[in-house]
Amino acid sequence: MSARILNGNAIRDRIYVELAGEIASLASAGVRPGLAAVRVGDDPASKLYVNSKIAACEKLGLASFHITPPASTTTDELLTIVNELNDRDDVDGILVQMPLPKQIDSKKILDAVVPAKDVDGFHPVNVGNLVANRPALVACTPAGVMEILRRSNIPMEGANAVVIGRSDIVGKPMALLLLHANATVTICHSKSKDLPGIARRADIIVAAIGKAAMVTPDFVRPGATVIDVGQIVVKDAKQAERIFAKFPEKLQAFRNKGSVLAGDVHPEVVEVAGAYTPVPGGVGPLTIAMLMSNTVKAARMRRGLRAPAAAPARG
Ligand code: GUN
C-alpha cells in the first residue's frame, strides 16, 4: 500500500486564500502590511530565496522592501540598516537572510531586530514566548509543518512524535509546537543511540537533519506520518542512483540536469508510511506561506488588532 501524499502546494494555496481575505480586511482599515527583506552580498541561493519571498508579497498585495547591501558590509553598518527598519512605520516584518558573510556577527544582528517585527521568529524574546506557549512570532518552517498536520487531520494529541534534528530554526521550535499540541515528543540528533529504534516508536516523524535520504524505511512504523523538512541538491551520480533506484523519472531528471533534489527521508519510505510530505512540494511551499502569515500577524499585533477565527481542518 502506498502512503497518502500531504500536498504542501495545495495547503499553501488554501492559506493564501485565507490570507487574501485578511489582507483585504486590513486594507479596508487603511493598513497594508509590509515586509523588509535584507540580503547581504550575492549568494545565489540567498538571492533565489529572497526573490521568492518578495514575489509572494507581490502576489498577495503586501508591500515589500528589498534591501541589498554589499558582501563587504560590517556588523555596525548592518545594525544601522536594521535599526532604521525597526523605526519605520510602513515595515511590519523584517527578515535578514541567513547565512551572513563571515565578518558579520549574526547573533548581534538577529538580536537587533525588534521582536514585534521578527517574522522569522529567531529573536530570543519570540523563542522564549514560544517556550512559555504565549503569543509569539514562530519560526516559519516548523509553523508550516503544524499547518500541514492540522489541516490534514493528523492526530497530534497523545501521539508519539519524534523530531530528528535539534537546530534553533527547525528542530527545537518544532518539538515545542508538537508539545503544545499535546504530543509526546522525543528530540533525536547525531549523538542519539539507536535512532531507527526510537523513530520506529513514532506516530509522527519530523526529519530535519539536512542529510539526503537518511530516514530509511526501517525507521518507520507502518502507517506512521513522515514529514520531510530536508531539501538537499544531490550532484553525485552514485548517490542519486542509490537513493532513487526505484524512481526512474528522478534518475532521468538527474541525467538531464546533473542534479536532483532529495529530502532527509528516503523515497522508499512511501511503501511503509501512512502519510508523507514529498520533496519538492511538501514542507517547502509552507515556509514562505508562513512568512507571509507572520507578516500579516505582525501588522495586526503591532496595531492591537484581533486575529480572525482559525480555519477549520480539512481532509
Ligand atoms: N536561511 C535559510 N533559511 C532561512 C530562514 O528561514 N530565514 C532566514 N532569514 N534565512 C534563512
Q: Which domains does the chain have, with CATH numbers?
A: 30-120 (3.40.50.10860), 140-284 (3.40.50.720)
Nearest to 63 by CA among 87, 86, 91: 91
Partnered with residue 225 across adjacent β-strands are 204, 275
CA of 147 to the centre of ligand 1 (A): 19
Q: Is the CB of 277 under 6 A from ligand 1?
A: no
Instruction: Kindly report the length of the chain.
Output: 315
Q: How far apart are CA 200 and CA 285, in angstroms?
A: 27
Give Cβ neighbours of residue 192 (< 8 Å, ≥ 6 apart): 198
Mean pLDDT within 211-232: 98
Reply yes or no on whether the pLDDT at 18 is more than 70: yes
The runs of H, that is alpha helices, within the chain are 8-28, 44-60, 75-87, 106-112, 124-131, 140-151, 171-180, 195-199, 237-243, 248-257, 284-302
Q: Has 246 been annotated as catalytic?
A: no
What's the pLDDT at 314? 53
Residue 305 or 313, more confident:
305
Mean pLDDT within 24-37: 96
Q: Is the CB of 237 under 6 A from ligand 1?
A: no
Reply yes or no on whether the pLDDT at 1 is more than 90: no
3-state secondary structure of 115: helix
**In b/e form, how buried is each residue of 239-271, taking b as 16+ CB within 10 angstroms?**
bbeebbeebeebbebbeeeeebbbbbbbbbbbe
What's the pLDDT at 306? 82
Q: How far apart are CA 196 and CA 295, in angstroms?
A: 38
What's the pLDDT at 310? 65
CA of 138 to the centre of ligand 1 (A): 13
User: Would you state the cell numbers that stand for residue 168, as one nine-digit string?
Assistant: 534553533
Q: Has 120 been annotated as catalytic?
A: yes
* 0.75 exceeded by pTM: yes
Contact predicate 198/219, CB 8 Å: no
Nearest to 97 by CA among 144, 155, 140: 140
Give Cβ neighbours of residue 254 (< 8 Å, ≥ 6 apart): 234, 237, 240, 244, 260
What's the pLDDT at 307? 78
Residue 262 sits at the vertex; the CA angle it makes with 185 and 239, to the nearest 5 degrees, is 115
